[in-house]
């Protein structure tokens, strides 16, 4: 196999403002973030010759040809893995630029206003939700909070993890958001606030759930050689991989409800990057729900299965701790930009651009994606 280590780099990042509602289309937001990423790289939009738009929603490669006036788009793909899509796209883009199929691949993710439709209606139309639509939605299992609540409850019963341990993830993200002017959640959160927030789908309370919002983010992936000649210091992709759980379309039928697809991907990405867990200075962990962070930390190998609740305690995952996570506030407290905001934040951390929330001497970092009932993806990057 061709070793993809350091063959590609993030050459540009960009985003829009993140807001609760918007009167702009998903396409308009996506193009703004994409343009910002291209300009950050010091490129012209017409230099983009590869595009991987977010698979959920209406933005397609053709939109970039039309709006950027790209004369010869050489590569387009989608990575339909829900919240794992953005990080999985890093792997596809890395392959495209490492092989020379494309020079500069743009990866985008935009979300329009949430008032357009009920989430259960949107999910029903997705082919990967076919089994859930037929067998679970008719009995009242209609949304991700409910799908994943069964995984979280199983973990609590098997390993004794607690709602207070889940809360530490929410409190960490909220504390970090206070240092990020882009974040939507600017009100501090105490443990009591979390424990008193209303129950949504037991064991998930309101503050275990990510923020719905509107906005877009984008990154440009270039070959490492080309990235070195561009405007910003390249952030190299040392290792990347995607992983899928068994029974990927029905959590109910999965052999182990507490094991996610990222457990398959993590050893591949660490080996490719040639780093160990102790080398990771900062980690942006996909956090649609608090429990999903605990479970990924276990499946990534930062601690043993069942130990995630203990691992996050005592400030370990906060700024100044051994493994600061979600330094921007994550989906829980910055905004739910599908995890593309996690990639943008990791790049800025490794560039040293994060001001008050900068992790001191951040050289190596990790970003994950999680979605579609258990799919996972991760990338290990370095400056």
Partner 1 sequence: MNDIYSESPAKPRPQIALENQSYWDGLRRHQLLVQRCLTCAKLRHYPRPMCDACYSFEYDWHALSGSATVHSWTVTHHAFHAGFKQDLPYVTVTADLRDGIRLQAPLAGSDVNLAVGARLDLEFIDVDAELTIISMRIRA
Binding footprint of partner 1 on the chain (CB under 8 A): 118-120, 124, 130-131, 133-143, 145-146, 149-151, 153-154, 157-158, 198-203, 250, 252-253, 255, 257
For the bound state, the minimum distance from the C-beta of residue 253 to partner 1, rounded and expressed in Å, comes to 6
Region class of 82: left (phi > 0), else alpha (psi between -120 and 50), else beta: left
Whose Cβ is closer to partner 1: residue 147's or residue 286's? 147
For the bound state, the minimum distance from the C-beta of residue 254 to partner 1, rounded and expressed in Å, comes to 9
Whose Cβ is closer to partner 1: residue 131's or residue 268's? 131
Whose Cβ is closer to partner 1: residue 101's or residue 199's? 199
Q: Check if the beta carbon of residue 55 is closer than 8 Å to that of residue 79.
A: yes
Whose Cβ is closer to partner 1: residue 35's or residue 143's? 143
Q: What is the DSSP letter of 137?
A: G
Burial of 178 (0-12, 13-18, 19+ CB in 10 A): middle
For the bound state, the minimum distance from the C-beta of residue 119 to partner 1, rounded and expressed in Å, comes to 7
For the bound state, the minimum distance from the C-beta of residue 10 to partner 1, rounded and expressed in Å, comes to 36
For the chain, the C-alpha Rg in angstroms (whole number) is 19
Q: How far apart are CA 339 and CA 346, in angstroms?
A: 11
Q: What is the DSSP letter of 212?
A: P
Sheet containing 215-223, strands listed edge to edge, beginning at the edge strand earlier in sequence: 75-76, 50-53, 104-111, 215-223, 8-15, 235-243, 375-382, 364-371, 282-284
Q: How far apart are CA 87 and CA 68, in angstroms?
A: 24
For the bound state, the minimum distance from the C-beta of residue 86 to partner 1, rounded and expressed in Å, comes to 24
Whose Cβ is closer to partner 1: residue 153's or residue 383's? 153
Whose Cβ is closer to partner 1: residue 151's or residue 169's? 151
Whose Cβ is closer to partner 1: residue 202's or residue 353's? 202
For the bound state, the minimum distance from the C-beta of residue 171 to partner 1, rounded and expressed in Å, comes to 22
Whose Cβ is closer to partner 1: residue 158's or residue 191's? 158
Angle (deg, nearest 10), helices 26-40 and 61-68: 70
DSSP notation for 55-85: SSSS--HHHHHHHHT-S---EE-----GGGH
For the bound state, the minimum distance from the C-beta of residue 231 to partner 1, rounded and expressed in Å, comes to 45
Q: How far apart are CA 269 and CA 366, in angstroms?
A: 10
Q: How far apart are CA 25 and CA 113, in angstroms?
A: 8
Whose Cβ is closer to partner 1: residue 187's or residue 198's? 198
For the bound state, the minimum distance from the C-beta of residue 308 to partner 1, rounded and expressed in Å, comes to 17
Q: Check if the beta carbon of residue 83 is closer than 8 Å to that of residue 371.
A: yes
b/e string for 314-349 if b means 16 or more Cβ within 10 A? eebbbbeeebbbbbbbbbbbbbbbbbbbbbbbbbbb
For the bound state, the minimum distance from the C-beta of residue 135 to partner 1, rounded and expressed in Å, comes to 5
Q: How far apart are CA 194 and CA 189, in angstroms?
A: 7
């Amino acid at each position: 196999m061709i070793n993809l280590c350091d063959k590609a780099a993030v050459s540009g990042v960009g985003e829009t403002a993140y807001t609760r509602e918007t009167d702009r289309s998903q396409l308009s937001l996506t193009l703004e973030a994409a343009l910002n990423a291209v300009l950050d790289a010091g490129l012209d939009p017409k230099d983009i010759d590869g595009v991987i738009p977010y698979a959920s929603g209406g933005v397609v490669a053709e939109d970039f040809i039309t709006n950027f006036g790209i004369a010869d788009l050489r590569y387009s793909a989608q990575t339909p893995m829900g919240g794992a899509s953005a990080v999985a796209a890093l792997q596809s883009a890395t392959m495209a630029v490492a092989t020379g199929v494309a020079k500069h691949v743009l990866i985008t993710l935009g979300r329009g206003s949430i008032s357009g439709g009920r989430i259960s209606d949107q999910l029903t139309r997705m082919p990967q939700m076919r089994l859930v639509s037929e067998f679970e939605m008719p009995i009242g299992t209609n949304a991700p909070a409910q799908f994943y609540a069964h995984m979280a409850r199983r973990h609590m019963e098997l390993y004794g993890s607690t709602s207070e341990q889940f809360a530490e993830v929410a409190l960490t993200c909220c504390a970090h958001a206070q240092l990020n002017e882009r974040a939507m959640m600017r009100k501090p959160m105490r443990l009591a606030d979390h424990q008193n927030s209303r129950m949504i789908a037991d064991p998930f309370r309101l503050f275990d759930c990510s923020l719905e919002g509107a906005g877009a983010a984008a990154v440009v992936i270039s070959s490492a050689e080309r990235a070195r000649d561009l405007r910003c210091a390249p952030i190299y992709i040392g290792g990347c991989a995607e992983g899928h759980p068994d029974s990927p379309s029905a959590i109910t039928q999965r052999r182990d409800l507490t094991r996610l697809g990222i457990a398959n991907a993590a050893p591949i990405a660490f080996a490719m990057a040639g780093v160990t867990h102790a080398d990771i200075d900062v980690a942006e962990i996909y956090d649609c729900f608090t429990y999903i962070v605990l479970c990924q930390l276990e499946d990534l190998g930062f601690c043993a299965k069942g130990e995630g609740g203990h691992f996050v305690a005592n400030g370990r995952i906060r700024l100044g701790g051994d493994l600061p996570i979600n330094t921007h506030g994550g989906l829980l407290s910055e905004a739910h930009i599908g995890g593309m905001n996690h990639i943008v934040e990791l790049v800025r951390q490794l560039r040293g651009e994060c001001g008050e929330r900068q992790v001191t001497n951040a050289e190596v970092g990790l970003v994950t994606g999680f979605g579609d009932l258990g799919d996972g993806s991760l990338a290990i990057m370095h400056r």
